[in-house]
């Protein structure tokens, strides 16, 4: 669907009756607004037009306006933050599908190492013809590719963590970026895989030496060795100078600060695929190697802690699926009784965040709004009740349930689970 094809009536007055109409009444048309120092709009001349602005190079690495200082990564206060810690993307403050590097969620198990790229090496060994030790310069000599993909922690959120206030509190362990690097397949072929090769055990150069077994099919498909994110080198928090990216798979497998790839016939059964990142099922068994992040979506505006006015409101949010493209997003503005198709904003990319939008005229009565994603396999994002009916409540990872937002008569938006 094109970005213009969103079903908006032509020449509609979106803000009629809202705050802007009230402001218009105050300014009384184009009359100068002398005496109202707080306002700086036309026809007045604001003070920042009367003196030259800051010099070029006054910020050699740019930062956002000081008036945006509230748009920051969200470090949950409820959770104890030791070396194993996380911060969340402020989803409710972002537009489009790309997460700025400074706001990309972080999850690390042993702190952020301070790696000198000149001394960093990647070793490739095990079931290969020619074991290799590569420098970062060696890695950048391979043909490069850039792809836009989401990355999401499988603990986003845990099953008991539905009591946050904002979209970021609830599902902020996700981000989407343009990743640049070399195909993992290219580097593995350079070493030459032996016929028995089934897994590639990836190890990080952090104090956690985080280790995950990557299935060979994914390694030879769209897996990337990444050195840049959104056009610049990876940030230390995201794995500088080198990480794995497995598009659509649980974030834990995208090993950061990558130092070693050990090609094996069997998985390593590391801590991260036994004690952690497995899902306890109601019958006492555990799901293991649950790689794919299932389809999910959330309305980011209006969302928790925001306040809306009666009348026109655009509902917008993000949807994604580890299985490929988002085919549709449906939105309910009546607590799940009826659903309407939202417009998908181009580009709609495989295993990337997809922005959806729906025009909505709120009648001012209390309600609950929510979205559900449908991916190209036909999979429909479940409600929390439907999900836990299958998976029980002992699970921790892979909660992709629908997120409801409650809208009060005051226009205040709060977590619909609470
Ligand atoms: N070496 C290493 N790689 C790691 C981790 C880690 O702690 N150490 N955390 C993993 C987890 S649980 C997730 S969700 C993603 C988070 O990536 P990000 O911090 O760039 O968002 O990295 C994964 N890769
Ligand atoms: Mo994670």
Task: Count CA within 13 A, CB hemisphere, residue 409.
Answer: 1
Residue 272 CB less than 6 A away from ligand 1: no
What is the distance between the alpha carbons of residues 249 and 267, in angstroms, rounded to a whole number?
16
User: Would the pLDDT of 28 be above 60?
Assistant: no
Neighbours of ion ligand 2 (CB under 5 A): 107, 153, 251-252
- What was the pLDDT predicted at 279? 85
- Give the number of the atom of ligand 1 that is nearest the alpha carbon of residue 237: 19
Say yes or no: domain 85-284 is CATH 3.30.9.10. no
Phi-psi category of 243—alpha, beta or left, where left has phi over 0 and alpha has psi -120 to 50? beta
User: Would the pLDDT of 112 be above 80?
Assistant: yes
Of residues 318 and 44, more confidently modeled: 318
User: In the block, which residue shows the tokens 């000198």?
Assistant: 116
- Give the number of the atom of ligand 1 that is nearest the alpha carbon of residue 175: 21
**Angle 244-204-106 (CA atoms, 0-180°, nearest 5)?**
70
Q: Whose CA is nearest to atom 7 of ligand 1?
A: 108
Of residues 93 and 5, more confidently modeled: 93
pLDDT tens digits along 177-221? 999 999 999 999 999 999 999 999 999 999 999 999 999 999 999
- What was the pLDDT predicted at 402? 97
Locate 333 and state its tokens: 């503005």
pLDDT tens digits along 17-26? 544 444 433 4
pLDDT tens digits along 224-271? 999 999 999 999 999 999 999 999 999 999 999 999 999 999 999 998
| 266 and 200 Cβ atoms separated by less than 8 Å | no
Pick from 108, 111, 136, 109: which is nearest to 122 by CA?
136
User: Would the pLDDT of 35 be above 70?
Assistant: no
The share of the chain scoring above pLDDT 90, in percent, equals 77
Give CATH for domain 296-415: 2.60.40.650
Q: Whose CA is nearest to atom 12 of ligand 1?
A: 252
User: What is the average pLDDT across 274-294?
Assistant: 88
Element (H, E) at 86: strand 85-87
Instruction: Tell whether omega for the bond before 305 is within 30 degrees of 0, i.e. cis.
Output: no
Locate 17 and state its tokens: 């009756």
Q: Residue 23 Cα, ligand 1 centroid: separation in angstroms? A: 47
> Among 149-158, 249-258, 404-413, whose mean pLDDT is lowest?
149-158
User: Would the pLDDT of 344 be above 90?
Assistant: yes
User: Would the pLDDT of 133 be above 60?
Assistant: yes
Sign, Cα dihedral of 287, 291, 295, 301:
positive
Residue 243 CB less than 6 A away from ligand 1: no
User: Would the pLDDT of 5 be above 80?
Assistant: no
Among 154, 230, 254, which residue has the most ligand 1 atoms within 8 Å of its CB, making it the best to mutate?
254
Map out the domains of the chain as residue ranges.
85-284, 296-415
What is the distance between the alpha carbons of residues 320 and 324, in angstroms, rounded to a whole number?
8
User: What is the average pLDDT across 391-413?
Assistant: 93
User: What is the average pLDDT across 272-284?
Assistant: 86
Among 122, 151, 252, 275, which residue has the most ligand 1 atoms within 8 Å of its CB, making it the best to mutate?
252
Residues in the chain: 418
What is the distance between the alpha carbons of residues 299 and 289, in angstroms, rounded to a whole number?
29
Of residues 162 and 226, more confidently modeled: 226
What is the distance between the alpha carbons of residues 233 and 136, in angstroms, rounded to a whole number?
12
Q: Residue 204 Cα, ligand 2 centroid: separation in angstroms? A: 14
Q: Residue 254 Cα, ligand 2 centroid: separation in angstroms? A: 9
- What was the pLDDT predicted at 324? 98
Among 81, 110, 251, 396, which residue has the most ligand 1 atoms within 8 Å of its CB, making it the best to mutate?
251
Q: How much is the mean pLDDT over the chain? A: 91
- What was the pLDDT predicted at 281? 87
Q: Whose CA is nearest to atom 23 of ligand 1?
A: 252
Residue 230 CB less than 6 A away from ligand 1: no
User: Would the pLDDT of 81 be above 70?
Assistant: no
What is the distance between the alpha carbons of residues 397 and 275, in angstroms, rounded to a whole number?
12
Residue 10: band (very low, low, confident or very high) from pLDDT cuts 50, 70, 90: low
Q: Residue 83 Cα, ligand 1 centroid: separation in angstroms? A: 13
- What was the pLDDT predicted at 283? 87
What is the distance between the alpha carbons of residues 58 and 261, in angstroms, rounded to a whole number?
43
């Amino acid at each position: 669907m094109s970005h213009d094809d969103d079903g908006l009536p032509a020449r509609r007055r979106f803000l009629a009756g809202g705050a802007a109409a009230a402001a218009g009444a105050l300014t009384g048309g184009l009359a100068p607004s002398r005496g109202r120092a707080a306002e700086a709009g036309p026809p007045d001349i604001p003070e920042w037009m009367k003196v030259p602005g800051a010099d070029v190079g006054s910020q050699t690495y740019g930062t956002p306006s000081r008036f945006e200082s509230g748009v920051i990564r969200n470090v949950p206060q409820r959770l104890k933050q030791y070396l194993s810690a996380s911060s969340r993307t402020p989803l409710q403050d972002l537009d489009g599908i790309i997460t700025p590097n400074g706001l990309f969620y972080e999850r690390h198990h042993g702190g952020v190492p301070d790696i000198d790229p000149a001394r960093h090496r990647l070793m490739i060994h095990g079931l290969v013809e020619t074991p290799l030790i590569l420098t970062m310069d060696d890695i950048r000599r391979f043909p490069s590719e850039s792809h836009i993909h989401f990355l999401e922690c499988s603990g986003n959120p845990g099953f008991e963590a539905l009591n946050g206030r904002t979209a970021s509190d609830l599902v902020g362990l996700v981000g989407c970026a343009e990743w640049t690097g070399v195909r993992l397949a290219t580097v593995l072929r350079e070493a030459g895989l032996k016929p028995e090769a089934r897994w590639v055990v990836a190890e990080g150069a952090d104090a956690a030496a985080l280790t995950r077994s990557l299935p060979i099919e994914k390694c030879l498909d769209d897996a990337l060795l990444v050195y840049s994110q959104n056009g610049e080198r990876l940030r230390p928090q995201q794995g500088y100078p080198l990480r794995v990216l497995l598009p659509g798979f649980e974030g834990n497998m995208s090993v950061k600060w990558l130092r070693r790839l050990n090609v094996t016939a069997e998985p390593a059964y590391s801590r991260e695929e036994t004690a952690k990142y497995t899902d306890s099922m109601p019958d006492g068994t555990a799901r293991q190697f649950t790689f794919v992040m299932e389809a999910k979506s959330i309305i980011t505006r209006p969302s928790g802690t925001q306040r809306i006015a009666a009348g026109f409101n655009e509902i917008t949010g993000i949807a994604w699926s580890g299985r490929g493209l988002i085919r549709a997003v449906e939105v309910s503005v009546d607590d799940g009784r009826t659903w309407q198709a939202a417009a998908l904003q181009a580009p709609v990319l495989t295993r990337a965040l997809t922005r959806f939008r729906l025009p909505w005229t709120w009648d001012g009565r209390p309600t609950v709004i929510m979205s559900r994603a449908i991916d190209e396999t036909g999979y429909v994002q479940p409600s929390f009740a439907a999900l836990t009916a299958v998976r029980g409540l002992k699970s921790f990872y892979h909660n992709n349930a629908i997120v409801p937002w409650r809208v009060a008569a005051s226009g205040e938006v709060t977590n619909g689970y609470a």
